[in-house]
């Protein structure tokens, strides 16, 4: 169950990271409310996962999912650069997340 909590927490991190862009510095109420709720739920699920998973592994995977997801959605939604080097390093980040999962022993 801890891995499910962790994956959902990471996906929610993607949501709130992208949501930050839409809040325009928390000046727009409509996107701010779901963004803050996603933050709270994301960190709550991370804390549940960290009860049984090593914190270093859990946090690295949480951040990795969030960073990679936000970068990919930034490319899609905000037309951020998608050069070969950026894609390569996103793939490296994904490989690191998978490697941490496989080597965690849980």
Taking only the tens place, the pLDDT of each residue in 58-87 is 999 999 999 999 999 999 999 999 999 999
What pLDDT does residue 102 have? 87
Taking only the tens place, the pLDDT of each residue in 4-47 is 999 999 999 999 999 999 999 999 999 999 999 999 999 999 99
**How confident is the model over 93-106, as a mean pLDDT?**
86
Number of helical (H) and strand (E) elements in the chain, helices listed first: 4, 0
Rounded distance between C-alpha atoms, residue 5 and residue 62, angstroms: 10
pLDDT at 105 exceeding the cut of 80: no
Q: Calculate ∠ Cα 46-51-15, nearest 5°.
A: 5
Question: Is the CA virtual torsion 69, 70, 76, 82 positive or negative?
Answer: negative
Give, as one character, the DSSP assignment of residue 81. -
For the chain, which residues make up each domain, given as ranges?
2-103
């Amino acid at each position: 169950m801890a891995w499910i909590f962790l994956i959902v927490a990471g996906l929610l991190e993607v949501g709130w990271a992208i949501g930050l862009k839409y809040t325009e510095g928390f000046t727009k109420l409509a996107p701010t409310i779901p963004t803050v709720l996603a933050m709270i739920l994301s960190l709550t699920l991370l804390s549940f996962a960290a009860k049984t998973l090593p914190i270093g592994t859990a946090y690295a995977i949480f951040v990795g999912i969030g960073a990679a997801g936000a970068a990919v959605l930034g490319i899609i939604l905000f037309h951020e650069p998608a050069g070969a080097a950026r894609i390569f390093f996103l793939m490296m980040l994904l490989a690191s997340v998978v490697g941490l999962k496989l080597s965690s022993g849980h």
